[in-house]
């Protein structure tokens, strides 16, 4: 499922990517658990890639958030689902899987469907961008991510 969603996001089909995750898996308690696991998988992979990029790299990894016009926005001023995604990713990067999981639980329990879709889309986009950067620098990328991106026309 993660690979298919990543491939769709890579092809610019954001709605399809989000639907693959939220539409297919939502609607039951098991579905929410699977969404949580999928998003945490993406953030764990992002964390691994951030670590690879930061290890001895000439360019440090920097978290930035941009608005629709391309202007940088302070993280505290970002929309709530984007802040949730950032907090989950930062928790993963710092090795706190419990805090990352808690952030995703909050999004699942309290968020509206559009907010959950935003968290999923952020996770997919960051995974794509980090994978491309790691590939450019000949750093390791999880095989399932590489396979998802290689399947693109």
The count of domains in the chain is 1
Provide the residue range defining the domain that includes 41: 1-151
Q: How far apart are CA 89 and CA 6, in angstroms?
A: 17
Cβ proximity of 124 and 42 under 8 Å: yes
Write the pLDDT tens digit of every residue in 114-133: 788 888 888 999 999 999 98
The reported pTM is 0.83
- pLDDT at position 73 is 87
N-terminal to C-terminal alpha carbon distance within the chain: 19
- pLDDT at position 83 is 87
- pLDDT at position 27 is 56
Residues of the chain below pLDDT 50: 153
Torsion of CA 14, 16, 17, 20, to 10 degrees: 160
Phi, psi of 116 (to 5 degrees): -65, -40
């Amino acid at each position: 499922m993660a690979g298919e969603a990543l491939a769709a996001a890579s092809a610019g089909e954001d709605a399809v990517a989000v639907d693959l995750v939220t539409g297919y898996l939502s609607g039951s308690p098991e579905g929410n658990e699977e969404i949580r696991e999928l998003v945490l998988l993406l953030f764990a992979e992002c964390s691994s890639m951030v670590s690879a990029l930061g290890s001895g790299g000439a360019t440090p990894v920097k978290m930035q958030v941009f608005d629709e016009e391309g202007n940088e926005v302070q993280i505290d001023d970002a929309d709530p689902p984007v802040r949730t995604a950032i907090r989950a990713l930062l928790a993963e990067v710092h090795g706190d899987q419990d805090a990352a999981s808690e952030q995703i639980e909050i999004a699942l329990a309290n968020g509206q469907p559009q907010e959950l879709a935003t968290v999923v889309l952020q996770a997919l986009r960051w995974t794509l961008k980090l994978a491309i950067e790691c590939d450019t620098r000949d750093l390791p990328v999880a095989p399932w991510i590489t396979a998802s991106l290689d399947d693109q026309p």
